[in-house]
Each structure stands twice: as C-alpha cells, then as structure tokens.
Amino acid sequence: MPRAIWSGAISFGLVSIPVKLYSAVSRQTVRFNQLDGRTNARVKQKRVSALDGEEVPYEEIVKGYEISKDSYVVVSDDELASLSPKASRTIDISDFVQQSEIDPIFYDSAYYLVPDELARKSYALLAEAMEESGHVAIANFVMRTKQYLAAVRPVDGKLMLSTMIYHDEAVDASEIPGLAELDEIEINDAERTMADQLIESLITEFEPERYEDNFRVQVKELIEKKAAGEITTVEASSAAEDAGVVDLLAALEASVSAAKEARKRHPAKKKPAAKRKKAKKKAADEDVPEAKSA
C-alpha cells in the first residue's frame, strides 16, 4: 500500500488545509546488478583517488565544485546546511494561473494530495473552485531539505501536485541545432491536406492502458525463461536500412490508407459499431411492440 512521503498543509491567504503527499508514479524499470562474468559474484564499486589510485575512506570524502580543469572549490557539509531552506510543513501558494499557460516542459514529478479527515470539505471546495475556473496554483514547499517549485492542479475533484523545473533549467529551442532551419521549410496545399487527413484518421480517445513498454515486457519474459532453465536464443536485430529521400506526398497517402485499414480492424472501433446496431434494433422493437409480442 502506498505510503505518504510528506505531510503538511496547503496554505494561501488565511486558509490552511492539512494534506499528505503520495507519489503518483511507480516506476517499473527492470534493474540489473553488475556481476563478475567468471563467477557471477556481485561487483562492488570502490571510491579511489585519481592521484594515486588508492581507496579513499568515506570519512575523508568532501564535496568539490570544479571551476576549471582539475581546480576545485571545496564546500563543507556545514556550509551547505547553513544555506539549506528552513524546514517547513506548508505548501505556500503564491499565484493562480491558467493551466493552458504552463508549458508541459516545466512539469517534473507528480504526486497526489490527500486531505486530513477534518479538512475534506475545504479541500473539495478548493478543488472545485480551481476546476471551474481552469486555474492552477503555483507554490513553493520544502521536502527533504530541498525547496521545490510546484503546480497544484485539480483533476476530477482531487488535487495533484507536480514539482516543476525552474525557468533557467528549460533548454530554449533556439539552442538546439537544426530547429531554426524549420522556419524556411515550405509546405504546399496538397501535402497539408494529406497530413490533416492522416491526423484525422488516427484521432481517438487517450486510453493509457493501450500503451506498454514492450522492451520491459520482453526483458521480463527472457528473465523468467532463463530462471526456469529454458534455453533462449536471442538474435541481434538488424540495423535499420537507410530509406533515403522519399516522396512525401506518396508517403502521406500510403499512411492514410494504412491508418484507415488498421482503424477498421481495431477493437475500439468495432465495439461502438456493435453498440449502435444493438441500440438501433432496440429502438425498432420499441416502435413495433405488437410484432414483438407476436
């Protein structure tokens, strides 16, 4: 069962709502240990000095910030502790902004905010007011000696908190090579029309359960087979061939056709059609009750 990782209160103005913080994400990464290939014994890492290769005792390790090659400024734990934000048990809301104004690049980790029993009404009122107005709260809070910028947003009557990166941590698109040249690309009407049709043919509702990490699934299957003593032969995947220059319009047309065919076979599309047929038959039966009783 999930455990609260922080407890405190949402604070804005004279309002204080006690809450607990629960992680909204559970990473499902397959983790491996490093082993000695000769004996399968665990491999341990040692901290050694780059000067003489000797192992450095843990108590002798200090923090250093490199200001030039091989030149460091040493900062002690006490000096860092004196600069750490003061421990606080409040999520201090400073602003309310429209959710559409926040670029998703600024969101980091997601958490659920759960109210204390006596604060449920205040919590529900805040969530409803924010949802109706389309606003997100911008706040600051301290967790584990680190200060975070955060967004508190309403989701189906509940409040979620997402930690955020700071503005100087977001990489500007102008710094990425190859993006500026896109402004010079010209798109003709035929290409734009086909692109619109391709997008239209793939539009559906977002269903998270339709997507899975295929690599993780295959790795787990491989581990289970090997653990059971099954001999598994894995063939190396061939490198993708260079497709070279393609006819964009022809590729779009082919993609539209393929998408339409795939959509016809997709279970999500067959189900609504069956429902419509059943509803139509039901309506017809209701229109002619005499025939039904006969």
Residue 47 within any structural domain of the chain? no
Residues 148 and 254 in one domain: no
Angstrom distance (rounded) from CA 252 to CA 147: 48
pLDDT digits (tens, 9 = 90+) for 230-239: 766 666 665 5
Residues 163 and 19 in one domain: yes
Token pair listed for 8 = 């405190």
Residue 77 within any structural domain of the chain? no
Averaged pLDDT for residues 1-23: 92
The pairing of strands 90-98 and 6-12 is: parallel
Q: Give the number of domains in the chain.
A: 2
Residue 105 within any structural domain of the chain? yes
Residue 20 within any structural domain of the chain? yes
Residues 156 and 193 in one domain: no
Q: What is the pLDDT of residue 275?
A: 47
Residue 210 within any structural domain of the chain? no
pLDDT digits (tens, 9 = 90+) for 112-160: 999 999 999 999 999 999 999 999 999 999 998 899 999 999 999 999 9
Residues 93 and 157 in one domain: yes
Residue 35 within any structural domain of the chain? no
Residue 36 within any structural domain of the chain? no
CATH code of the domain covering residue 94: 2.40.290.10
24-29: long-range pairs with CB below 8 Å, 24+: 24/110, 24/111, 24/112, 24/160, 25/109, 25/110, 28/213, 28/216, 29/216
CB 71 within 8 A of CB 124: no
* pTM exceeding the 0.75 threshold for the entire prediction: no
Host domain of residue 278: 187-204+248-288
